[in-house]
Structure 1
Amino acid sequence: MLTRRIFLGTLAFSAAVVTGCTTDTDPARSANLPDAAGLLAESASAVRDIRSAHFTMSVTGSIPGISVQTAEGDLTREGGPAGGAKGTVKLTLAGQLIDGEFVLVDDSLYLKGPTGTFQRYPSSLTAEYYDPSAILDPDRGFAKVLTNITDAKTEAREKVDGTPAYKITGRADKDAVGNIVPGVESEVDITVWLDEDGRHLPIRALVTFPKPDGADAPTVDVVVSELDKPVTVTPPA
């Protein structure tokens, strides 16, 4: 079953090495860093007002509950009770790797594979799985994650795709990130990069799952940009 959870649940924070994203540490400026708690509080307050965003997301390793490998698109809290989203996605479904386009709007999922037209999945098949407004929802989404990071520490000043940012590391539990990262069953390591200027809005987030025996630790990585740019999501023709 293709559901909102398959797509948006893994898009949110889920957003690994993200194509086109570069992060450069600035040792000369990584002294006298501001307190992590204050930065996170400011960022959480600011992101509650964000109505739309562009995201790029990637998953490395095997994480139960996450079928998406990469995704890119736009999210909005406007339009309908749950807002909407549109973009491209690569996921494994029934053992097959699928590249496609998706549109989520009015409680319906529209999916288009490499060929053919969009297929609609009615809300009766999707409503019980994932509410896309969770991504930007002020009570369940990014803002909740930022206010529930424990053992937070400002590690460095870095540039993410050329944007100066504060790198903050910490821990987060299922209650903090479970709405936007399926598969979280215990505490996970989390790193966030907050814009150094202005309201310290989030730029990038990396969730690292516990390391399986004999394997690298799975990660889910998201880069967000173009916050509050105009985004319109409508059902495909």
Structure 2
Amino acid sequence: MRRSIGGLLAVLATFVCIVGCAGDGSGGLPDAQLMIRNAGYATKSISSAHLVVTADGSVPGLSIQRLDADISRESSPAASAGSAVTNLGTIDFIESDGVLFVKGPSGKYTPAPAGVALPSPAAMLDPERGISQLFSTLEAPTTLAKTELDGVAAFELRGNVPQTTLAAILPDAASGAEFTVWLRVRAPHVPLRTILTFPAGGALEFVVSDVNKPVSIAPPT
């Protein structure tokens, strides 16, 4: 009987360790590699979201200060609609069927002229070349802390993204970047906030919200 009780206690201790180390409860900080892998899977499964991208300082290969867009992957290719603050002013846009349309003075959307270059919000959530791929190649990830973002419990992690991966969303990126991400504690571990910090001092922030909520993006007529 004593051996049975001892064996049962050992099993329970192992179970408690597994639950605590997973990071969803009140245990210690979770393994960074495990969280990053789960975040990659969760990001690939996003079918729609609201994305805000903000640049602080000079970011290589980026011509905007802020981008605010709804994204839907219900269609193929994915679609997006929103606005971007650039050196030319604020540009309203719709991304549909792989074509970027911008709103002109008449209020009508037409294909963007050659001088207008905006990053593709749809590409940023693309499962093969978007933010999810940053997780798959993240170097030396570390879990830093458990915190809150807008009332949502999150784990803060940090690592480094190589230039070759970063070029998928920033084609003119000449270097890698430090990658700091806040992942939702409860599964699915989607990224709530991501910051890329570049060697020259510029930073790029991604904030994802309204994950998988219905989004309707009509193509321009």
The TM-score range, normalised by the shorter chain, is 0.7 to 0.9
Residues 55 and 203 of structure 2 are in contact (CA less than 8 Å); yes or no, is this contact kept in structure 1?
A: yes
Which of residues 103, 110, 114 is equivalent to 1:112? 103
Q: Which runs of 5+ in 1 are unaligned?
A: 1-28, 212-216
Task: Please tell me whether residue 47 in structure 1 is matched to residue 23 in structure 2.
Answer: no
> What is the number of equivalent residue pairs in this alignment?
196
Larger fraction in helix? 2
Residues 82 and 132 of structure 1 are in contact (CA less than 8 Å); yes or no, is this contact kept in structure 2?
A: no
State the shift of 1:65 in Å: 2.0
CA distance in 2, matches of 1:63, 1:197: 32
Pairwise CA RMSD: 2.6
- TM-score normalised by structure 2 residue count: 0.79
Residues 141 and 180 of structure 1 are in contact (CA less than 8 Å); yes or no, is this contact kept in structure 2?
A: yes
Report the equivalent of 2:84: 89
Aligned-pair identity in percent equals 31
State the shift of 1:133 in Å: 4.3
Q: Pick closer, same or farther for the CA change 1:89–1:130 going to 2, 3 Å.
A: closer
CA distance in 1, matches of 2:160, 2:54: 20
Residues 30 and 157 of structure 1 are in contact (CA less than 8 Å); yes or no, is this contact kept in structure 2?
A: no
Structure exhibiting the larger radius of gyration computed from Cα positions: 2
Residues 69 and 121 of structure 2 are in contact (CA less than 8 Å); yes or no, is this contact kept in structure 1?
A: no
Amino acid at match of 2:87: T
Which of residues 162, 167, 175 is equivalent to 1:178? 167
Q: Which runs of 5+ in 2 are unaligned?
A: 1-24
Residues 30 and 156 of structure 1 are in contact (CA less than 8 Å); yes or no, is this contact kept in structure 2?
A: no
- TM-score normalised by structure 1 residue count: 0.74
Higher relative CO (Cα under 8 Å, sequence separation at least 6) belongs to: 1
Superposed, 1:1-237 pairs within 5 Å as: 32-79=28-75, 81-93=76-88, 98-112=89-103, 115-121=105-111, 133-211=122-200, 217-237=201-221
CA distance in 2, matches of 1:89, 1:48: 24
